Amino acid sequence: MGEAEKVKVIFQPSGRRDLVEKGITIIEASRRLGVDIETLCGEKKVCGKCKVRVEEGFFEKFGIRSSLAHTSEWQEEEEKFISPEEREKGYRLACCAKVEGDLLIFVPEESRAGKQVVSKAARQIDIQWNPAVRYYYVELTEPSFHDPTGDFERLREELERKYGLTELDVDYLTLKELPVLLRKSGFKVTVAVWMGKEIIRVLPGQVKDCYGLAVDVGTTTVAAYLCNISTTEVIDTVSMMNPQCKYGEDVMSRITFHMMHQDGLERMSDDIIEGLNTLIKQACEGTHPPKKKGKEKATQEHSAEDDKDYLCLEPEDIVDMTLVGNTAMHHILLKLNPEYVGLAPFPPVIHKSLDIKARDLGVNINKSSYVHILPNEAGFVGADNVGVLIAEEPYKNEEMCLIIDIGTNGELVLGNKDKLISSSCATGPALEGAQITFGMRAAPGAIERIKIDPETHEVDYKVIGREAWKSYSKPEEMQTRGICGSGILDLLAELYRAGVILKSGRFNPKQKSKRFRKNPENGQPEFVIAWANETSIKKDVVVTQKDVRQIQLAKGALYCGCKLMMRRMGIEKVDKVKIAGAFGTHVDREKALIMGLFPDCPVENIIAVGNAAGDGARAALLNIEKRNEANWVARNVEYIELTVEKDFQQQFMEAMQIPHMTDKFPHLRGLVPDEILNQK
Amino acid sequence: MGEAEKVKVIFQPSGRRDLVEKGITIIEASRRLGVDIETLCGEKKVCGKCKVRVEEGFFEKFGIRSSLAHTSEWQEEEEKFISPEEREKGYRLACCAKVEGDLLIFVPEESRAGKQVVSKAARQIDIQWNPAVRYYYVELTEPSFHDPTGDFERLREELERKYGLTELDVDYLTLKELPVLLRKSGFKVTVAVWMGKEIIRVLPGQVKDCYGLAVDVGTTTVAAYLCNISTTEVIDTVSMMNPQCKYGEDVMSRITFHMMHQDGLERMSDDIIEGLNTLIKQACEGTHPPKKKGKEKATQEHSAEDDKDYLCLEPEDIVDMTLVGNTAMHHILLKLNPEYVGLAPFPPVIHKSLDIKARDLGVNINKSSYVHILPNEAGFVGADNVGVLIAEEPYKNEEMCLIIDIGTNGELVLGNKDKLISSSCATGPALEGAQITFGMRAAPGAIERIKIDPETHEVDYKVIGREAWKSYSKPEEMQTRGICGSGILDLLAELYRAGVILKSGRFNPKQKSKRFRKNPENGQPEFVIAWANETSIKKDVVVTQKDVRQIQLAKGALYCGCKLMMRRMGIEKVDKVKIAGAFGTHVDREKALIMGLFPDCPVENIIAVGNAAGDGARAALLNIEKRNEANWVARNVEYIELTVEKDFQQQFMEAMQIPHMTDKFPHLRGLVPDEILNQK
């Protein structure tokens, strides 16, 4: 059999490349090269998520000429998702366009698929460049009898002369390498300087790009952004479940684990540190050429020579790292006793930011580097919230902004340039799937999106691990297992909007859907989301009256928190609502408004800011002013304990109704049928 | 048999104590309690070195009344060494006075015997108190709902309020202990602050005294001074051979060992770090009650309660440490490549002082503490010389001072407040016993003092490990093995003064002593120092013509160095000569002048300053200004390479004569017979 004709394909920004058979789709090619491209509909050409850009021109570095003409014909389905301007620029849907010749393909950030279910992709944020670690190149004169000055002073004097860096110190481990390195490099070196005061790395020759990692340690998810500090570009996002989950789902159960086990803190800390090291390794491996397995051996063209074009980063190339997390995660990671954070009056061990040598933490990056840990506001509002604040900067604006960070705990900040108050509310784990009959973690088989037809009460949904929605799939393809956090948010809003449940949360007894029934065993009303034949557990996935109550409790806590804070602030409405946090990237702003997660606000002023805590970590990585800002804001946000407000119970009860017992929601007009909205 | 009546004896400052039988001498009692008191004559009551002071009064803490009346009668021999004033104050010779009742005895520093042959006892030096580490006591209010500030900020705010300490940081490992410690101590703690900026230790309750260690890492000997930083008092001096001696005797052979073995640097560094940790342990153990062996079990009176009066320090109680050493020792200890220090133009890896976390060096003191390493001047004049300079402060005086630090290398500094120059000269190892027929290290059996009778040419000497001189001993008691450094210094001076050798160094052929002879085997002239029956090696210990030449080479190098430096400085004579270094404590200034170690100077202006390098380390431990002074002086002493001076050879040759070929030594008149001094 004759071999198929092969052409060269290169994906940017990862730089991955290889020869592929002519005629396969770009999506197929991306899979073979280990490049992840989003494809929600499962290549049905209906979601438009797999947009890529074909670069035109001759690329000398790679020795190829790439052209749109090297792709198959334009398809009708692409029209819907790609504007004429975009088409002009070379955009195609990767599921439509076939590879017909050499191609250099750029995958935009929004088309890159997270490699993990728990991925928190990086948002485009505007950060001024003023990093803690900078590279400086110097050429030194060699020692002589007339100038026998020592190596370090020789280096220091030149750095002062050329760059005005005065009084530089050096980390001991970097100093150890200096003499041999200077001589091996002919006294021409690049020096990494931390905060303008300490030399933390010396590299032979001239090196321009330096790399850092911004990490958000969530109770459930850990996300790390590998950044080019010199260009501020995000190179990759890697994430994982917090390995501490095995000790307990939420903050309090982790604290309890520490109190019940003498080595509990040590174990939980070691686990997260090991987790960080795994992420570091992963992030670095992503910059290497893909490893070939069995049959797919490296072709002759893919030689070691080619590998030079990959970044090929190693952990020691990461010279700076920033870290955010809630106060408990912060304490546990640092092996700071978290006991008192869980005990009234909840004082943290430390508020201010810390710069700890990576080696003291056991974090495997450049051995002389520091890990910068952002400051905590209070026992229940930690460095993660500070991260959100420095990313969103509510203290720089006139407008009154409400920021809701929904994780395992709800963290709220309200204010503007004049005043900021923060609080936390016990949303409980319901919004993350716990305490719900078919609730589960965000994992393959979990329902993450739901739509309920107001007429037929038919349900459409999507599960994690499968791109295509149920309506595009055969029932047996769904392999549904339960409902995760973002699915639960959709659920309450959709049940209410479709009239399946009433304002009070009770199931509407008058509904006609065959999905509504009394449980044959306990007689309780329930609504079927997925029929048994669509599941891998072989039973109907339902939502019960009790489940609805649990979700109402969570949303009520959050709404009540928002309202009490607004009262404290003396305001009737907010100008802007920002939703951040664990499902910040998944949340549907309309549905959040419909279910009454927060007081009324024009939909266009509700903004999902994704993982803003992680953005804050990135901001602090790239700009030291943000670190100062973080310390300032951590001590200037006033923390308010809401549960001690005297009408808290009454407020909470009213907030449990959907969207609220008495508050008006003018901005829901049009989103929810009037008869639904007007019900008593 | 009835037991002997027992009385209580306590020795200060060590605090050691126990019951002893009435009637034994104080010396004997000191031995039983493990307290070392100097006794050069071997208790023959002729050296007067064992002076102690009996404290009078009732000592409530110990529950005893101590009185001179509790000692045996005053003896005639004591008259010679103890002045009436001293007698008034309670001084006695420990070998004369017997214990007749309870006694509290103070052992003055000068009467304390080094525990090791290589001991470098601490000198009384005047150091202003301004230490890097200070203790501060605070009482904090506990957190409440109205003031839920975190632990660290709570502590920091009180330290600022009470002591004006601003912007305090905290070491990560200390922070970890903070929350539990605060609560255990009822929020009353003592805080160790380093350099007014970093908290490095927190202790429960009020603690006043804090401790530090000043270390001098010599090529051959390592000495450590355990100091009470709060009182500046030296508590103990511990010392040991540098464990690197097994890799080579001198600096160059260590450097070579590194170059020949891939793990050479690592091994040598690990060895000295392990050595430091041994010294730290030793120094701490010295503050604990003596351990009882077999028969001498703890009496009932010696209970755990009593132990409270001992300092009972543990390594973590040492909160600061300073370190000096020559450039090679400095580099090897820090695992800094020493290769280029041994290679023209001899640039060190670093000049400036370093503050390195003890844990990064593997040094077992308080885990958050720093080790301060003093700066280097140049490749051959290291931090040890800087230590000498900040201890002796020649830069503060008008008088022109010559400082000679004789170790394995000779280091010279000349100058006053206007200018300082330094140099090093290859004295070689002869002055330390190497390359001499019967030369040996300072170890038991080594001759360390020699006197030769000018009339009879009879030799008297003293060996290490035996207090009594030969003339006080039976021949077989001497167990002589060879001659060590300080003996060699005496030797040349005595041989010359007694007329055994001529000015040129040649044996005087006209001498009548039966100790002078031709070696039966090689026919070379030699002079017998110790007859075979006085030795443990069963042969005559002699000095040969070649030995004399070796010593002349060493002293010639030193003298020549001094002279060339004086010429550079444009001076004819120096006002003061200070001798420091390995045998700085042993050197006899007259003999050093006689043998021509340095240009003429009034004997009373020749001062043996002992281990001035160690004193410098102590000064830096107790006063941070001394650290700044050290960095200043290290960069302001001009290093001069003498071997490149054009008449170096001629100068060297002239300097080999005893005391010099042409220079006049008016101050030797009276010390050396005129006919000897006037010989051509």
Residues from chain B contacting residue A149 (CB–CB below 8 Å): 347, 351
Secondary structure, 3-state, A22-52: CCCEHHHHHHHCCCCECCCCCCCCCCCCCEE
Q: What confidence score (pLDDT) does residue B226 get?
A: 96
Task: Name the residue among B176, B346, B360 with its Cβ closest to that of A335.
Answer: B176
Q: What confidence score (pLDDT) does residue B117 get?
A: 37
Task: Name the residue among A336, A346, A361 with its Cβ closest to that of B179.
Answer: A336
Residues from chain B contacting residue A147 (CB–CB below 8 Å): 345
**Looking at A204, A227, A242, which one is the last position of a domain?**
A204
Cβ distance B152 to A350 less than 8 Å, yes or no, reads yes
Q: What confidence score (pLDDT) does residue B221 get?
A: 84
Cβ distance A150 to B641 less than 8 Å, yes or no, reads no
How far is residue B292's CA from residue B288's CA, in Å, rounded to a whole number? 12
Query: What does chain B come to in residues?
Result: 680
pLDDT single digits (tens) B622-660:
999 999 999 999 999 999 888 888 899 999 999 999 999
The distance of A406 to chain B (nearest Cα, Å) reads 24
B230 & B199 share domain: no
- Which residue in B has a C-alpha nearest to residue A181's C-alpha? B337
Where residue A110 falls among pLDDT bands split at 50, 70, 90?
Answer: low
Q: What confidence score (pLDDT) does residue A305 get?
A: 52
Indicate the SS3 state at residue A4.
Answer: coil
Domain count, chain A: 5
pLDDT single digits (tens) A376-385:
999 889 999 9
Please choose, from the candidates B410, B431, B544, the residue with its C-alpha nearest in 3D space to the C-alpha of residue B487.
B431
How far is residue A234's CA from residue A615's CA, in Å, rounded to a whole number? 11
Residue, of B630 and B83, whose pLDDT is higher = B630
Cβ distance B347 to A378 less than 8 Å, yes or no, reads no
Residues from chain B contacting residue A378 (CB–CB below 8 Å): 148
Q: What is the CATH number of the domain that holds B360?
A: 3.30.420.480
Residues from chain A contacting residue B339 (CB–CB below 8 Å): 179
Indicate the SS3 state at residue B225.
Answer: strand
The distance of A671 to chain B (nearest Cα, Å) reads 43
ipTM: 0.76
Residue B144: Cβ within 10 Å count: 11
pLDDT single digits (tens) A138-148:
999 999 988 99
A216 & A184 share domain: no
Average pLDDT over every residue of B341-368? 95
| pLDDT(A245) > 90 | no
Q: What H or E segment, with its residue span, contains residue A422?
A: strand A420-425
Which residues is A71 bridged to in the sheet?
A99
pLDDT single digits (tens) B228-259:
999 999 999 998 888 887 787 778 888 988 99
A183 & A218 share domain: no
Q: What is the CATH number of the domain that holds A139?
A: 3.10.20.880
> Mean of the per-residue pLDDT values for chain A?
88
CA distances from B610 to A656, B160, B442 (A): 84, 42, 16
- Which residue in B has a C-alpha nearest to residue A356's C-alpha? B172
Q: What confidence score (pLDDT) does residue A25 get?
A: 92
Asked if residue A127 belongs to a domain, the reply is no
A349 & A401 share domain: no
Please choose, from the candidates B94, B101, B118, the residue with its C-alpha nearest in 3D space to the C-alpha of residue B26.
B94
* For chain A, percent of residues with pLDDT exceeding 70: 92
| pLDDT(A403) > 90 | yes
Cβ distance B334 to A639 less than 8 Å, yes or no, reads no
How far is residue B189's CA from residue B187's CA, in Å, rounded to a whole number? 6
| pLDDT(A306) > 60 | no
A407 & A465 share domain: no
Average pLDDT over every residue of B188-206? 97
B571 & B539 share domain: no
How far is residue B416's CA from residue B394's CA, in Å, rounded to a whole number? 5
Where residue B481 falls among pLDDT bands split at 50, 70, 90?
Answer: confident
Cβ distance A144 to B378 less than 8 Å, yes or no, reads no
Cβ distance A150 to B350 less than 8 Å, yes or no, reads yes
Residues from chain B contacting residue A356 (CB–CB below 8 Å): 172
| pLDDT(B299) > 70 | no
B101 & B17 share domain: yes
B546 & B651 share domain: no
The distance of B619 to chain A (nearest Cα, Å) reads 23
- Interface mutation vs chain B, best among A155, A169, A172, most B CBs within 10 Å: A172
- Which residue in B has a C-alpha nearest to residue A639's C-alpha? B148
| pLDDT(B613) > 60 | yes
Residue B584 phi, psi dihedral angles, 5° rounding: -55, -35
Indicate the SS3 state at residue A93.
Answer: strand
**Looking at B550, B581, B615, which one is the last position of a domain?**
B550
The distance of A97 to chain B (nearest Cα, Å) reads 55
pLDDT single digits (tens) B434-476:
678 888 767 788 898 999 999 999 999 999 888 899 999 999 9
The distance of A165 to chain B (nearest Cα, Å) reads 16
Residues from chain A contacting residue B337 (CB–CB below 8 Å): 176, 179-180
| pLDDT(B62) > 90 | no
A243 & A352 share domain: yes
| pLDDT(A399) > 50 | yes
Cβ distance A151 to B350 less than 8 Å, yes or no, reads yes
| pLDDT(A116) > 70 | no
| pLDDT(B363) > 90 | yes
Both tokens of B407, joined, read 């170790």
Angle (deg, nearest 10), helices A545-569 and A485-497: 90
How far is residue A356's CA from residue A362's CA, in Å, rounded to a whole number? 10
Q: What is the CATH number of the domain that holds B79?
A: 3.10.20.30
Asked if residue A459 belongs to a domain, the reply is yes
Q: What is the secondary structure of B622-644 as a DSSP string?
A: HBHHHHHHHHHHHHHSEE--GGG
* For chain B, percent of residues with pLDDT exceeding 90: 60
Q: Identify the residue whose tokens are 């043996």.
A: B608
The distance of B199 to chain A (nearest Cα, Å) reads 13
How far is residue A454's CA from residue A676's CA, in Å, rounded to a whole number? 11
The distance of B581 to chain A (nearest Cα, Å) reads 25
Q: What confidence score (pLDDT) does residue B583 get?
A: 58
List the single range of A241-250, A525-534, B596-605 with lowest mean pLDDT.
A241-250
| pLDDT(A613) > 80 | yes
Please choose, from the candidates A665, A643, A485, the residue with its C-alpha nearest in 3D space to the C-alpha of residue A557.
A643
Cβ distance B150 to A348 less than 8 Å, yes or no, reads yes
Asked if residue A454 belongs to a domain, the reply is yes
Task: Name the residue among B153, B175, B347 with its Cβ closest to that of A336.
Answer: B175
Cβ distance B334 to A144 less than 8 Å, yes or no, reads no
- Interface mutation vs chain A, best among B183, B340, B343, B380, most A CBs within 10 Å: B340
Cβ distance A337 to B179 less than 8 Å, yes or no, reads yes
- Which residue in B has a C-alpha nearest to residue A361's C-alpha? B172
Q: What confidence score (pLDDT) does residue A226 get?
A: 96
| pLDDT(B294) > 50 | no
B252 & B358 share domain: yes
How far is residue B614's CA from residue B610's CA, in Å, rounded to a whole number? 9
List the single range of A613-622, A644-653, B568-577, B649-658 with lowest mean pLDDT.
A644-653
pLDDT single digits (tens) A163-178:
999 999 999 999 999 9
Cβ–Cβ under 8 Å, residues A241 and A271: no
Q: What confidence score (pLDDT) does residue B496 get?
A: 94
Residue, of A292 and A145, whose pLDDT is higher = A145
B530 & B455 share domain: yes
How far is residue A561's CA from residue A380's CA, in Å, rounded to a whole number? 14
- Which residue in A has a C-alpha nearest to residue B327's C-alpha? A150
pLDDT single digits (tens) A466-517:
889 999 999 999 999 889 888 888 899 999 999 999 999 999 988 888 999 9
Centroid of chain to Cα B118: 8
How far is residue B48's CA from residue B418's CA, in Å, rounded to a whole number? 43
Residue B399: Cβ within 10 Å count: 11
| pLDDT(A568) > 90 | yes
The distance of B566 to chain A (nearest Cα, Å) reads 21
Residue, of B386 and B80, whose pLDDT is higher = B386
B481 & B590 share domain: no
Cβ distance B153 to A352 less than 8 Å, yes or no, reads yes
Where residue B295 falls among pLDDT bands split at 50, 70, 90?
Answer: very low
Task: Name the residue among A144, A153, A340 with its Cβ closest to that of B179.
Answer: A340
Both tokens of B177, joined, read 């202990």
Asked if residue A164 belongs to a domain, the reply is yes
Q: CB-based burial of residue A594 (10 Å sphere; 0-12 exposed, 13-18 middle, 19+ buried)?
A: buried
Please choose, from the candidates A560, A550, A548, the residue with its C-alpha nearest in 3D space to the C-alpha of residue A596.
A560
Domain that holds residue B342: 211-291+311-373
How far is residue A255's CA from residue A343's CA, in Å, rounded to a whole number? 10
Cβ distance A176 to B354 less than 8 Å, yes or no, reads no
Both tokens of B490, joined, read 């005496």
Q: What confidence score (pLDDT) does residue B300 get?
A: 46
Asked if residue B79 belongs to a domain, the reply is yes
- Which residue in A has a C-alpha nearest to residue B358's C-alpha? A172
- Interface mutation vs chain B, best among A337, A356, A628, most B CBs within 10 Å: A337
Cβ distance A179 to B339 less than 8 Å, yes or no, reads yes
The distance of A356 to chain B (nearest Cα, Å) reads 7
The distance of A599 to chain B (nearest Cα, Å) reads 28
Asked if residue B84 belongs to a domain, the reply is yes
Q: What confidence score (pLDDT) does residue A58 get?
A: 82
Task: Name the residue among A149, A152, A350 with its Cβ closest to that of B151.
Answer: A350
**Looking at A515, A539, A563, which one is the last position of a domain?**
A539
Cβ distance A345 to B180 less than 8 Å, yes or no, reads no
Cβ distance A151 to B176 less than 8 Å, yes or no, reads no
How far is residue B617's CA from residue B625's CA, in Å, rounded to a whole number? 12
Residues from chain B contacting residue A175 (CB–CB below 8 Å): 334, 336, 349-350, 354
The distance of B50 to chain A (nearest Cα, Å) reads 46
- Which residue in A has a C-alpha nearest to residue B154's C-alpha? A350
Asked if residue A564 belongs to a domain, the reply is yes
> Mean of the per-residue pLDDT values for chain B?
88
Residue, of A423 and A299, whose pLDDT is higher = A423
Cβ distance A152 to B179 less than 8 Å, yes or no, reads no
Asked if residue A1 belongs to a domain, the reply is no
The distance of B469 to chain A (nearest Cα, Å) reads 49
- Which residue in A has a C-alpha nearest to residue B336's C-alpha? A176
Cβ distance A150 to B351 less than 8 Å, yes or no, reads yes
Residues from chain A contacting residue B357 (CB–CB below 8 Å): 172
Indicate the SS3 state at residue B209.
Answer: coil
- Interface mutation vs chain A, best among B176, B349, B360, B371, most A CBs within 10 Å: B349
